[in-house]
Amino acid sequence: MKGQEIILGQINGREAAARLIDGQLDDLLVDTDAPIPGTIYRAIADRPVKGQGGMFLRTPDGTAFLRQVKGLAPGDALLVQVTGYAEVGKAIPVTTRILFKSRYVIVTPDAPGLNISRQIKDEDRREALLLALHEAGLAGDGAQMGVILRSSCAGADLDAVIADLEAQLELATQVMADTDGGAELLLAGDGPHDYAWREWSDPAQITQDDRAFDRPDLQDALADAFDDTLRLPGAGALHIEPTRALVAVDVNTGADTSPAAGLKANLAAARALPRVLRLRGLGGQIVIDPAPMPKKDRRQFETVLRAALRGDLIETNMVGWTTMGLFELQRARARAPMTAGMLR
């Protein structure tokens, strides 16, 4: 099938969402028992971590860790937001810089101001959005909270944008005022279906059914996505192995023995890697062992990888080359790790 299709259903009794682009599985989300990024707690400061400038906090879902703490004493209550998934045996990562993110807008309670996504380049559209906000009384010097209009506003109905912003401002006002009391869950993060509505805003065919993932083509796509070895265009292959310390990525040329085999395999791997990491929910330190190629080709590999990462919603930093010729990435743990066994 050509174009974009969004599947909303269940996998093993858990809420799940998938996005297919031209028939290829591009993204997958399955609900887990872990706190979802975006969840907001009223937490209680527990004990500082000397030498790291951090503080352990008590939340209804277990211990959280807050970095770069100043002026916080044990027993203090504060509002925090989950920023990612915790590694096994570690505390939930949280921040005090809270965001309220929806399909069209992001509300920033601690950063007043109005910003429009740079991806909206049509000046007439930008002016129309600003005018609509001013007419609705949602912009100007009196605004108490910051507002970011997302790129999805480019083709959205103005009334829908205003309604979304009003709802988020009301929600933010209520949550940010709820500062008294013990440790409490104030707002749960978006599950797979809500995330799909929020982030997958391009025109798409939508299929919603609890048994939607039983389709044979989807079962095949899931099996291919979680195969131990991913076949690349050409003869190359990509092997990904998560360990406790890092995620190892091995690129091989396969049966191709031409002089440019290494470069071709590495470029194909660079284009495929963001999708594979996204589907498997992998983050943290990523170490790529590329196929052999001349040092002069490294710049081209970096350019292709950077372009591929630019289209990914998950923040990933290109750290660079090691003395052994490996390439390192640092990727946010924005997804829960997935395995093939979880989908059966």
Question: Domain boundaries in the chain?
Answer: 4-31+193-214, 40-97, 100-176, 226-343
- 46-79 pLDDT, tens digit each: 999 877 779 999 999 999 999 888 888 899 999 9
Express as a percent the part of the chain with pLDDT over 70. 98
Query: In terms of Cα–Cα distance, which of 340, 305, 344 is closest to 321?
Result: 305
Contacts by 153-157, CB closer than 8 A, 24 or more apart: 153/104, 153/105, 153/116, 153/117, 153/120, 153/125, 153/129, 154/117, 154/119, 154/120, 154/122, 154/125, 156/104
272-285 tens-digit pLDDT: 999 999 999 999 99
CA proximity to 332, closest of 282, 287, 289: 282
Question: Tokens 């998938």 appear where?
Answer: 18
For the purposes of burial, counting CB atoms within 10 Å of the CB of 207, is it exposed (0-12), middle (13-18) or buried (19 or more)? middle
- For the chain, how big is the Rg over CA atoms in Å? 22
Cα 35–chain centre separation: 14
Give the bridge partners for 158, in sequence order. Answer: none
Q: Which pLDDT score, from 0 to 100, does residue 226 have?
A: 86
Question: What value, to the nearest 5°, has the Cα angle with vertex 181 and ends 67 and 183?
Answer: 45
Enumerate the β-bridge partners of residue 247. Answer: 242, 286
Which class does domain 40-97 fall in? mainly beta
Tens of pLDDT, residue by residue over 217-257, are 899 888 888 888 889 988 899 999 999 899 999 999 988 88
Spatial contact of 57 and 69, defined as CB atoms under 8 Å apart: no
Structure tokens at 38: 């975006």
- Per-residue pLDDT at 141 exceeds 60: no
Does the structure show a pLDDT above 60 at 142?
Answer: no
Q: Do domains 40-97 and 226-343 have the same CATH topology?
A: no
E-strand spans in 83-142?
92-95, 100-101, 105-108, 114-116
Using DSSP's 3-state secondary structure scheme, residue 161 falls into helix
Contact assessment for residue 103 and residue 165, using Cβ atoms and an 8 Å cutoff: no
Q: Is 132 helix (H, G, I), strand (E, B) or coil?
A: helix
Task: Write down the pLDDT at residue 108.
Answer: 94
For 226-343, CATH gives 3.40.630
Write down the mean pLDDT value for the chain: 92
Q: The sheet that has 237-242: what strands, in order across it?
A: 229-231, 237-242, 247-252, 284-289, 327-331, 316-321
Task: Please give the structure tokens belonging to residue 271.
Answer: 């284009």
Helix axes 298-310, 261-280, angle to 10 degrees: 30
* pTM for the structure as a whole: 0.90
- Token pair for 122: 């049509």
Lowest mean pLDDT among 82-86, 89-93, 241-245, 340-344: 340-344
Q: Is the pLDDT of residue 343 over 80?
A: no
**In which band, very low, low, confident or very high, does the pLDDT at 344 lie, cut at 50, 70 and 90?**
low
**Each residue's pLDDT tens digit, 288-301:** 999 999 999 999 99
pLDDT tens, residue by residue, 2-27:
889 999 999 989 999 999 999 889 99
